[in-house]
Structure 1
């Protein structure tokens, strides 16, 4: 090589500051990554063929994608073929399409990047005109250079989702009328060929509360919307028994399923295809497992297991975490060392709380540490369930006779007024479960002894429980219910290994 004969070698395209960071890493083994320099650092590592630094940077980008940076990171990932970063960016763009499409950065996309995005089923838009308007804005940003791309963009507009008036308006748009090729696409291709295009996620989605049942039926997911009285039921025969479920902040539905006596599968529900995709396998935590939980917090999924030792009935919690955007291995978290009574987890203010009848602990993910918080003011012998609403955590016993709320910011407990049950005392053998729907606290009461089912809604202004007008169908569950926006057309029979059923009392959707 010519450089071997030179006293000084000039490294073209290498930022001096990044080279200094890499030298520091080579000598110290420590790499400092931040959002303002991660792309430059990756480029330097790519030039120097430092795979560890590249992997660290790509994982960091995937874990720190935000709405304000998703387009820029998507373009960068597209150039360097960083699949995990592209996937994380596209997912965020799909969810926040309206906001992203109105940004200046959106107009800097290439035509191939634009058409990839607007071809997605997962776009969260209420109507197809939003997609058309985004495409128009992109062309207008540099019309002289982009007008000729319009015929290749139009096939990705789902004309079957537009009203006749909207379609006519597009056909009469100046950009279309001035371009014979675009008019030809609409007349001869798009209108006839788009009839089988499915609705976008945002058009077909509805907020639902999801219940998961594993016995006596195969895995069954039931969804209900108490406000409009809508429900569905769907069986999944192709996956192991579900033990816990969670919904992420970007509306992804994950479950833990029992793969074997030693392993659990982490599955992601692909709503537009109505199938489950295995994302990871986690070793079941050791000991006699009494309860297992899956929770989502700040891009991580947490697997908690309650180890119940006999005959002392001492309970210990163990925990692992997994970042959903990096496909990394499960990592052990700091363990709670105290011997505790039976507990249930909850999330609030970026922390994880373990709540029981007499103790309350808080886990800080940033510090990987546990802290003890104010214990409940009223001990409950049989603590049943809890849920988070904003910065408050609500808890109740099994029979819904004692309800209290914990303020995570004030570190303070307060008792809530009891509900006056219409049942006789001997019949109040409830199975109570909280759920939050449209920012309101609900409780589903099921008294199997007298076949009584009722949904109550908590009126925070009046401080009272009110009976809901909507009566649920027969709902059973093996893990706590979760709320998510669900693509309702996705429960149709579009998949050979998914069987949809409508139960008695259910409303077909």
Structure 2
């Protein structure tokens, strides 16, 4: 905007209030911005109304031209209000149109929200007319996403075919640049044969050769699409001398016991699943004057654990009986936390892993002000952009941006926090017997009570319960007995927030879980089950 135009905008607030009529707005728009076609009277009237009243009325039919006008006039509040409105109104019917607009005007928050919406509704989106109007760059950005909710890669191929054939003469030359984003190695041999016989491919030897080459490539980093995977709870027990990880989804009645040889799996002390759905574990080896902590990542395609290639060497000598080691991720950065419980006041050491430099960096440590009475329960989890560290009596929060620890309100009216899990901006926790369940709002630093377990048959919880977030719902896994003769019973309850009650899923959890049911936190990962051998 020129300095003259800026001065005109500053003068608008001095216009009389009755000037906000359609005809007057059009006249002023023509006088003030004679070369601007996009700033038409209706939007100018809205902006004048905002300048006089401080109130902005936004609707889906006018949010885009209003944003354009605000962008031209550099009215940040109007522009931010419009972008927030668009981000909150990303639906199946609007996601492509809003995505194209956000891409042109570089509204990153709206563009990301639209990409998530398109990925979630991909099979419906590709049948819309808006999909065919995407540019080639927009198309490739969409089909490159891991988060596409498709059960088969053929859906992505068919979407590309539809886009090309919408204007075949103009778009056929783009096909070679689009094909690398289709994950041909995920297709069956029958699907590949059908694609190679398609008219778009059959008549072009170069493209046909490219596809055959892509199929033969073994890319271990190539992930399956989100819709091809299944959410599975990872159960493990680092205190037992076994080499099993038990995967389960009681809602879908899927239970898989993955057994590994001693050489094929690290003897890990903690496990975490990142926001990118990567599974990492810590392996610790004790030496005479130090100990070594190694990082391993799970390769779902090959069903194996691979060392990341960097180790953390701690020169301080710890008695491993008193050392609790944890692994947490915040904003795609891994954090290592080690609690030294030997002595009067425990000390929490913190380090973060720099993936670019492949090294561990020192972070601020946490020295507790008091001696912890019961040192059995230490655990950490991430919620939002912070790490929350629990003991039996305290709650601390780590801010990675400030590299600072701060005290937060500890859990109320609970004897001992045994398990906790984060969902959204809240943290849920309960005690060993599932008699007191609390929810912590991280934004308001407040706790509230949830209803207790109905326990209709007077079960006795004989092992640590595990809170789990599965398919965006709060669950709890209980290991119970009625009496010693009847043996162990595994129960899974889901919290129905609308009814404010715990509902029994009546899941048939197999006995294989017995060796793995352990720990205050059970991470959940999306697993491509066909890669597993079970």
Category of TM-score, reference length = shorter chain: 0.5 to 0.7
2:293 matched to which residue of 1? 264
Work out whether residues 414 and 431 of structure 2, in 8 Å CA contact, stay in contact via their aligned partners in 1. no
Distance 2:468 2:174 in 1: 50
Is residue 2:153 matched to residue 1:128?
yes
Distance 1:389 1:377 in 2: 19
Distance 1:292 1:201 in 2: 31
Work out whether residues 290 and 306 of structure 1, in 8 Å CA contact, stay in contact via their aligned partners in 2. yes
1:161 matched to which residue of 2? 188
2:256 matched to which residue of 1? 232
Cα RMSD for the two superposed structures: 4.4
1:61 matched to which residue of 2? none
The one of 209, 214, 217 equivalent to 2:233 is 209
The one of 245, 261, 264 equivalent to 1:221 is 245
2:408 matched to which residue of 1? 373
Map 1:159-308 to 2 at 5 A.
Answer: 161=188, 171=197, 173=199, 175-176=200-201, 179=203, 181=205, 201-202=224-225, 204-214=228-238, 216-237=240-261, 238-261=264-287, 262-279=291-308, 280-284=310-314, 286-288=317-319, 289-308=322-341
TM-superposed CA distance for 1:428, in Å, is 3.8
TM-superposed CA distance for 1:489, in Å, is 1.5
Distance 2:122 2:354 in 1: 26
TM-superposed CA distance for 1:180, in Å, is 5.7
Is residue 2:433 matched to residue 1:396?
no
> Please, what TM-score do these two structures have when normalized by structure 2?
0.61
Work out whether residues 206 and 488 of structure 1, in 8 Å CA contact, stay in contact via their aligned partners in 2. yes
Structure whose CA Rg is larger: 2
Residues 395 and 152 (structure 1 numbering): CA distance in 2 closer, same or farther, change over 3 Å? Answer: closer
TM-superposed CA distance for 1:383, in Å, is 2.6
Distance 2:146 2:424 in 1: 31
TM-superposed CA distance for 1:248, in Å, is 0.6
Distance 2:311 2:273 in 1: 18
Structure 1: runs of 5 or more not aligned: 1-66, 69-91, 493-499, 501-509
Distance 1:372 1:151 in 2: 51
Residues 322 and 451 (structure 1 numbering): CA distance in 2 closer, same or farther, change over 3 Å? Answer: same
Residues 131 and 200 (structure 1 numbering): CA distance in 2 closer, same or farther, change over 3 Å? Answer: farther
Residues 441 and 96 (structure 1 numbering): CA distance in 2 closer, same or farther, change over 3 Å? Answer: closer
Distance 1:376 1:148 in 2: 57
Distance 2:525 2:234 in 1: 7
Q: Deviations over 1:126-185 (max 9, x none)?
A: 322344246555897995883795999799746953877x97688454x347x3647987
Residues 149 and 419 (structure 1 numbering): CA distance in 2 closer, same or farther, change over 3 Å? Answer: closer
Describe the SS at the equivalent of 2:236.
Answer: strand
The one of 88, 106, 110 equivalent to 2:137 is 106
Structure 2: runs of 5 or more not aligned: 1-98, 101-115
Work out whether residues 129 and 162 of structure 1, in 8 Å CA contact, stay in contact via their aligned partners in 2. no
Residues 459 and 138 (structure 1 numbering): CA distance in 2 closer, same or farther, change over 3 Å? Answer: same
TM-superposed CA distance for 1:446, in Å, is 0.9
The one of 471, 482, 491 equivalent to 2:508 is 471
Work out whether residues 128 and 158 of structure 1, in 8 Å CA contact, stay in contact via their aligned partners in 2. no
Is residue 2:381 matched to residue 1:346?
yes
Work out whether residues 152 and 228 of structure 2, in 8 Å CA contact, stay in contact via their aligned partners in 1. no
Describe the SS at the equivalent of 1:431.
Answer: coil
Distance 2:462 2:243 in 1: 26
Describe the SS at the equivalent of 1:127.
Answer: coil
The one of 498, 518, 522 equivalent to 1:461 is 498
2:365 matched to which residue of 1? 335
Is residue 2:173 matched to residue 1:146?
yes
Residues 148 and 410 (structure 1 numbering): CA distance in 2 closer, same or farther, change over 3 Å? Answer: closer
Distance 2:454 2:382 in 1: 29
Work out whether residues 274 and 491 of structure 1, in 8 Å CA contact, stay in contact via their aligned partners in 2. yes
The one of 347, 350, 355 equivalent to 1:316 is 347
TM-superposed CA distance for 1:487, in Å, is 1.4
Residue-pair matches, total: 384
Is residue 2:395 matched to residue 1:360?
yes
1:481 matched to which residue of 2? 522
TM-superposed CA distance for 1:260, in Å, is 3.9
Distance 1:151 1:411 in 2: 48
Describe the SS at the equivalent of 1:330.
Answer: strand
1:27 matched to which residue of 2? none
Work out whether residues 438 and 448 of structure 2, in 8 Å CA contact, stay in contact via their aligned partners in 1. yes
Residues 108 and 468 (structure 1 numbering): CA distance in 2 closer, same or farther, change over 3 Å? Answer: closer
Distance 2:450 2:275 in 1: 28
Q: Deviations over 1:46-84 (max 9, x none)?
A: xxxxxxxxxxxxxxxxxxxxx99xxxxxxxxxxxxxxxx
TM-superposed CA distance for 1:293, in Å, is 1.0
TM-superposed CA distance for 1:328, in Å, is 2.5
TM-superposed CA distance for 1:358, in Å, is 2.5
Work out whether residues 256 and 294 of structure 1, in 8 Å CA contact, stay in contact via their aligned partners in 2. yes
Residues 141 and 336 (structure 1 numbering): CA distance in 2 closer, same or farther, change over 3 Å? Answer: farther
Work out whether residues 386 and 396 of structure 1, in 8 Å CA contact, stay in contact via their aligned partners in 2. yes
Work out whether residues 344 and 354 of structure 1, in 8 Å CA contact, stay in contact via their aligned partners in 2. yes
TM-superposed CA distance for 1:255, in Å, is 0.7
Residues 167 and 121 (structure 1 numbering): CA distance in 2 closer, same or farther, change over 3 Å? Answer: farther
> Please, what TM-score do these two structures have when normalized by structure 1?
0.64
Residues 98 and 270 (structure 1 numbering): CA distance in 2 closer, same or farther, change over 3 Å? Answer: farther
Distance 2:177 2:342 in 1: 67
Describe the SS at the equivalent of 1:213.
Answer: coil
Distance 2:411 2:207 in 1: 69
Residues 138 and 246 (structure 1 numbering): CA distance in 2 closer, same or farther, change over 3 Å? Answer: farther
